[in-house]
Amino acid sequence: MEVERVQAIAYLSIAKDTIPADFIRPENEQPAITTFHGPLPEIPTIDLNDPDQEKVVRLISDASRDWGIFQVVNHGIPSDLISKLQCVGKEFFELPQEEKEKYARPNDAKDIEGYGNKLQKGNGDAKKAWVDHLFHRVWPPSRINYQFWPQTPPSYREVNEEYAKQTREVADKLFKSLSLGLGVEGNVLKEALGGEELEYMMKINYYPPCPRPDLALGVVAHTDLSCITILVPNEVPGLQVFKDDHWIDAKYIPNALIIHIGDQIEILSNGKYKAVLHRTTVDKDRTRMSWPVFLEPPADLVVGPLPQLVTQDNSPKYKAKKFKDYAYCKLNKLPQ
Ligand SMILES: O=C(O)CCC(=O)C(=O)O
């Protein structure tokens, strides 16, 4: 089956002022109508290297409760590694189409790894998203399929391996603060999520220029299935979060990492921390890209509210279930 990529559709749309009808979102989703432009508080930015680590715990815990998202600076990942990650990802998406297709997600695959877009799913979803992507796991080694890692550019693998290593250090710091913010020992959340078996899924989003950014969306509104997501954006804004009934823009901070609280942390915290509802808009003239890494428990691990948090006054708000069952229900829009 011939699959049309959004990058190719965008190329054909360059000289036009229109986009195919199946990319036009209903009015209640269109960014021009639904983006809030008044004064609003900004997504919190947290200095991870602040010498007052109690303050860091408090800020992370407050941001996770009130926003479900925050940006971190001084996180320890060198800026030149972030630039390299962006360069090799961009080089991949700039390869000729037939080169990229070598990494295409097979049509019958159960897993999400590979190059593709929503168009491939054929799930009858009438409205399409203005984005192509590449997914591949970067950790643990036993879960890596190098067949989905681009061989061009040649430094792709080395850069992604180094980035995965550094991301794990940031994740460990975040899990510790998130645990302490719940009033439990620093190792509790990571252990409850599979410890060293936690899986790191890299995704590259490629949002080509769009002649009608007022009508289309990149990724549609969702919360992440993951426990946390650690995201590097490029300089083209587009991430929006839903806060106090408004869609508001995330500010671009060079070299900051954007941390999303995902569903699994909301569940473990019994609702104290909130998974953030977010979406992305696209730009008329520029390509937006982002590199989220989704941290996910192993498929068979049962995730439920931490027993330490459940009391007579705080009964469990979520079912405990295997991550794979949770994911199946979410992806198939079934009740949990
Ligand atoms: O591109 C972004 O900033 C967000 C991407 C995202 O939400 C996703 O890929 O699930």
Rounded distance from Cα 306 to ligand 1 centre (Å): 28
Q: Please provide the DSSP assignment of 283-314 as one string.
A: -SSS-EEEEEEEEE--TT-EE---GGG--SSS
Per-residue pLDDT of the chain (336 residues; tens, 9 = 90+): 456 899 999 988 887 889 999 999 999 999 999 998 888 889 999 999 999 999 999 999 999 999 999 999 999 999 999 999 999 999 999 999 999 999 999 988 989 999 998 744 444 556 799 999 999 999 999 999 999 999 999 999 999 999 999 999 999 999 999 999 999 999 999 999 999 999 999 999 999 999 999 999 999 999 999 999 999 999 999 999 999 999 999 999 999 999 999 999 999 999 999 999 999 999 999 999 999 999 999 999 999 999 999 999 999 999 999 999 999 999 888 999
- Check if 219 has its Cβ closer than 6 Å to any atom of ligand 1: yes
Rounded distance from Cα 184 to ligand 1 centre (Å): 30
The atom number, within ligand 1, closest to the CA of 278 reads 7
Question: Which residue's CA is minimally distant from atom 3 of ligand 1?
Answer: 239
**Tokens in use for 257?**
């990492």
Instruction: Work out the number of other CB atoms within 10 angstroms of the CB of residue 34.
Output: 18
End-to-end CA distance of the chain: 33
C-alpha closest to that of 89 among 239, 250, 294, 292: 292
Helix (H) or strand (E) holding 160: helix 156-181
Residues annotated as part of the active site: 203, 222, 224, 278
The whole-model pTM stands at 0.96
Instruction: Work out the number of other CB atoms within 10 angstroms of the CB of residue 17.
Output: 7
The atom number, within ligand 1, closest to the CA of 224 reads 10
Note the CATH number of domain 6-332.
2.60.120.330
Domain boundaries, the chain: 6-332
C-alpha closest to that of 256 among 225, 273, 242, 235: 235
